[in-house]
Each structure stands twice: as C-alpha cells, then as structure tokens.
C-alpha cells in the first residue's frame, strides 16, 4: 500500500475532489492551482456559478455529481456547511483508498468518519490565506496524504488528540481578528492624516515584520514586547496602558468563549 498520495500518482499528481465549492474552497483551489506541485482538482457541481468561474480561471473540471467526484478522487475535501456534512457524506460511497479531509468547524471526527467508512477521515482547519499558500492548517489525526495535500497551501500542524486539536483550531478565528486589529490601526492612521493606501501598507508590512522576527529572526514573542518596550519608552507606555485597560486578557477570555462554543458545535 502506498503511504503517500503523491506516490500513488507517480506519473502525475493526486486527484483532490473538492466537495462544496464555497468561500473556503475557492481559496483552497486558488492556492493549489498556484502551488509548485499542482494536484489534479475536481469540483462538485453545486454552487454552479462559483464552480464554473473557478473551472474557467484554472482550467478545472466539474464533476457531474458528488458520487462521480468521490469515485474519481484520491483525497476528498468536505468543505460543506457543518450541519450538512454528515448527511451529505452518508449519502456517498467511499472506498478504503480514500482520504477524507473534513474542514467543518465544530464538527467532531467520529460522526464524519463513520459516515465516510471505509475511508480514512481526518479533521483540518485551513484558513483563507490558503489562496496565497500561507494557511497555518491544524490537522487531526496525522495522515501522510492529507499532510502532503495541505502542505501545498501552507504549513501543517498535526495533533494526535482531538481535544488539543480543538484548542488549536481557535487560531483560525484569531486569523480573522488580526484583520480587524490591523484595520483599527490603519483607520487610526488615516483619521490622523495618513493616506489610506499607505496606512494599510504600513500596517501590513509592520505585521509581516513581527511574523518574520518570530519565525526567522529567533525572537520570542513572549518576551520581545518588553525587550522593545522597556520602562521609559513609548512602546512601554502603550503596553502599560493596554494592560490597564485589560486589552490582553480580553483576548484570552474571548478565545475561551470561542473554544467553548466550538466544542458545543454551536455559535449561539
Ligand atoms: N470560510 C472559512 O474561512 C472557513 C475556515 C475554516 C473552515 N471552514 C469550514 O469550511 C466549510 C465551508 O465553509 P465556507 O465558509 O466555504 O461555507 P460556504 O461558503 O457556505 O460553502 C459551503 C458550500 O457547500 C455547498 N453545498 C451544500 N450542500 C452541498 C452538497 N450536497 N453538495 C455539494 N455542495 C454542497 C454550498 O452550496 P449552496 O450555497 O448552494 O448551499 C456552498 O457552496 C464549513 O464547514 C466551515 O466550517 C470555513
């Protein structure tokens, strides 16, 4: 048995079936289509306008129906609304050779895995930066084919227990909040006279600089704020003010609330 989807297709690339062509799928497809190793992709037929636009843009095929998509794929991404995922998977025939990657937020592995038997099912949480191959994707449990497929659109972080995986998925909501934080700073710059385009570029590049220092520059994010923000500095003054306003603990409390909701599988 090959333990890798790429091995399975020595003459080409794995076929990834994208079941559910919505907002996330669009970003995943864009990322895969620009990857150095481009997997073969097959789109499900529903959401016709979006599927057709993607098919046209990237010369992709749309399957005539969901079962044909499964039959012709090695890896199947379930990018469906969470509340529809088990029902849709239950209505399809999978084989042992399939690897099913379920990206539904707040949906436990067991019901999806049972619905897709005898395939192997894993949970993953990619984000929209997959389109530029920068998604930090958490995965549970590890699987060679799933890891190879997801690594084409960013980094893959494997967890071997579902409980910790669910904690890690909260970074996917943090991802969304970072846009808001950056917009707040850029909006402030604009309101004080900086050109809007320049303000956004400045904030994005500053944020990229922080990421680069943590990932390549060897800086520890836990201590670097106070290395830069020493007492008597303007950075230090700002950190003290934010702390006094509980700005940082508000983030931890919000992360707790999101984790609790996602474990319930319900937003409200
Ligand atoms: N968006 C994100 O950034 C993000 C990030 C991580 C995880 N996720 C997860 O990814 C999944 C998709 O999210 P999304 O934001 O992309 O939602 P979305 O835009 O609503 O996409 C879901 C797609 O599935 C389609 N669909 C429904 N039933 C189907 C069926 N029987 N066969 C084929 N397609 C069907 C929907 O079509 P209709 O519109 O015609 O019903 C829709 O196009 C969710 O489970 C979500 O939790 C999303």
CA of 243 to the centre of ligand 1 (A): 38
Residues 95 and 226 in one domain: no
Are the CB atoms for 159 and 132 separated by under 8 Å?
no
What residues make up the domain containing 190? 172-264
Residues 26 and 158 in one domain: yes
Residues 192 and 146 in one domain: no
Provide mean pLDDT across the span 221-250: 97
CATH number at residue 15: 3.40.50.720
Residues with C-beta less than 6 Å from any ligand 1 atom: 19-25, 44, 46-47, 66, 79-82, 84, 88, 103-105, 125-128, 172
Asked which of 162, 186, 206 is the last residue of a domain, the reply is 162
CA of 210 to the centre of ligand 1 (A): 32
Q: Confirm whether 167 is domain-assigned.
A: no
Output b/e per residue, 253-265; b: 16+ Cβ within 10 A: eebeebbeebeee
Phi, psi for 42 (deg, rounded to 5): -135, 135
Residues 238 and 128 in one domain: no
Residue nearest to atom 9 of ligand 1 (CA): 104
- One DSSP character per residue, 174-189 reads HHHHHHHHHHHHHHHH
Residues whose CB falls within 8 Å of the CB of residue 105, separated by 6 or more in sequence, listed in order: 82, 125, 169, 172, 262
Q: Confirm whether 103 is domain-assigned.
A: yes
Are the CB atoms for 202 and 194 separated by under 8 Å?
yes
Q: Confirm whether 119 is domain-assigned.
A: yes
Residues 151 and 179 in one domain: no
Residues facing residue 151 across a β-bridge: none
Write down the pTM of the prediction: 0.94
Asked which of 119, 137, 162 is the last residue of a domain, the reply is 162
**How would residue 219 be classed by pLDDT, with cut points 50, 70 and 90?**
very high
Q: Give pLDDT tens digits for 156-172.
A: 999 999 999 999 999 99
Residues whose CB falls within 8 Å of the CB of residue 74, separated by 6 or more in sequence, listed in order: 5, 8, 9, 14, 15, 16, 97, 98, 99, 145
Residues 140 and 207 in one domain: no
Domain count, the chain: 2
Is the pLDDT at 268 greater than 50? The verdict is: yes
Residues 10 and 141 in one domain: yes
Q: Confirm whether 109 is domain-assigned.
A: yes
Residues 141 and 202 in one domain: no
Provide mean pLDDT across the span 93-105: 98
CA of 77 to the centre of ligand 1 (A): 11
Compute the distance between CA of residue 264 and CA of residue 160 in angstroms, rounded to an integer.
21
Residues 114 and 212 in one domain: no
CATH number at residue 259: 1.10.3730.10
Asked which of 141, 162, 183 is the last residue of a domain, the reply is 162
Q: Give pLDDT tens digits for 42-71.
A: 999 999 999 999 999 999 999 999 999 999
Is the pLDDT at 40 greater than 90? The verdict is: yes
Residue nearest to atom 25 of ligand 1 (CA): 20
Structure tokens at 229: 């923000």
Residues 145 and 102 in one domain: yes
Residues 219 and 142 in one domain: no
Residues 155 and 177 in one domain: no
């Amino acid at each position: 048995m090959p333990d890798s989807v790429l091995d399975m297709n020595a003459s080409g690339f794995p076929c990834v079936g994208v079941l559910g062509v919505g907002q996330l799928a669009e970003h995943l497809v864009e990322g895969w289509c620009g990857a150095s190793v481009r997997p073969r992709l097959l789109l499900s037929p529903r959401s016709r306008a979006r599927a057709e636009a993607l098919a046209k843009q990237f010369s992709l095929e749309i399957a005539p129906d969901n079962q044909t998509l499964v039959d012709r794929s090695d890896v199947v991404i379930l990018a469906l609304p969470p509340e529809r995922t088990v029902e849709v998977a239950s209505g399809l025939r999978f084989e042992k050779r399939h690897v099913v990657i379920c990206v539904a937020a707040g949906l436990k592995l067991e019901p999806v895995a049972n619905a897709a038997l005898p395939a192997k099912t894993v949970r993953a949480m990619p984000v929209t930066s997959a389109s530029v191959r920068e998604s930090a994707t958490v995965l549970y449990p590890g699987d060679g084919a799933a890891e190879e497929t997801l690594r084409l659109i960013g980094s893959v972080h494997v967890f071997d227990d579902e409980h910790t995986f669910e904690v890690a998925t909260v970074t996917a909501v943090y991802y969304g909040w970072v846009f808001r934080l950056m917009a707040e700073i850029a909006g402030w710059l604009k309101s004080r006279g900086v050109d809007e385009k320049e303000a956004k570029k400045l904030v994005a590049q500053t944020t990229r600089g922080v990421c680069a220092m943590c990932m390549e520059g060897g800086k520890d994010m836990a201590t670097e704020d106070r290395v830069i923000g020493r007492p008597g500095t303007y950075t230090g003054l700002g950190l003290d003010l934010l702390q006094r306003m509980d700005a940082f603990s508000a983030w931890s409390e919000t992360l707790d609330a999101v984790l609790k909701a996602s474990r319930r599988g319900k937003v409200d």
